[in-house]
Structure 1
Amino acid sequence: MSEEPSIVFRPPEREDGAAIHQLVQRTGILDVNSCYLYLLLCTEFADTCVVAEEDGALLGFVTGLRLPQRPDSVFLWQIGIAPDAQGRGLGKRLVRAFLETSGARDARVLETTISPSNAASRGLFTAIAREHGAEIQVSEYFREDHFPPGHESEEHYRIAPIR
């Protein structure tokens, strides 16, 4: 009987930027940012980002950053999972790995934004809050009129305490 290959969670490297950009395009759901931005995240913000891979193939990622104006907070900016890797609990495992990165390890607050129609993300972050015994505060962040036509609003989620 052969073992299922294990998933490795690690900080991103410069070379992961293009693969993350391609994965975002493949999801068909996430906002696609420039490849340059993903390269920056994988180099300058690698201490608050995580990639998940299996047999050298990128299965998912999470990107984030520390908020200079709120030093107790870490902001999870984008999480993506390859379509063929969904349904394996990878989202929750990625968020857990994100919270243990060197850049997020001492944060007491997890922040993110979620579009109102994104039930999967709301469910994921509700589960993370429950796991940490934390409360969620939801407030307006970016309205639809802040975006080009066709983009939903983004609500701000503040999950605390996570430690």
Structure 2
Amino acid sequence: MSRPPMTKKGSERLRTELEFLKGPKRQEIIAAVAEARAHGDLKENAEYHAAREMHGFNEGRISELEAGLSNSEVIDTERLGAGKRVVFGAIVDLEDEDSGDKVTYQIVGDLEADIKQRLIAVSSPIARALIGKNEGDSFEFTAPNGVKNYEITGVRYT
């Protein structure tokens, strides 16, 4: 079975998040549970139940990060030498051929994907459409709101 890819920067970012969740965040939640417990009756103590739920979410994210980081293969995208070809880790500048809108995405591993930061998962439909293309190529992509035509205006690796 192959190991899922992850960028070096993504690995570092997720390790920093993991340290935060295991250290300061865990201590903050422990303090919130203790404070809520001190209020008495736990059956009807909304603060206690909220703190316990926050604890569960935190521990779940810790488990997810530990498993993902230990199972992934970290790839240094600067060493790929792919030139202007789109492969894993590429930062791709796109221009919508119909509207002229421009957008930039980086193709990253599934665990590190974050659309707010323009980090798209290698398994996403648009990333799959981009892989193997070159700077200057045009391609068609079926988005949730219809078919889009894009031109790849730039490909770089950092």
Q: TM-score w.r.t. structure 1 length? A: 0.23
Structure with more relative contact order (C-alpha pairs < 8 Å, separation 6 or more): 2
More strand by share: 1
Q: TM-score w.r.t. structure 2 length? A: 0.23
More helix by share: 2
Greater C-alpha radius of gyration: 2
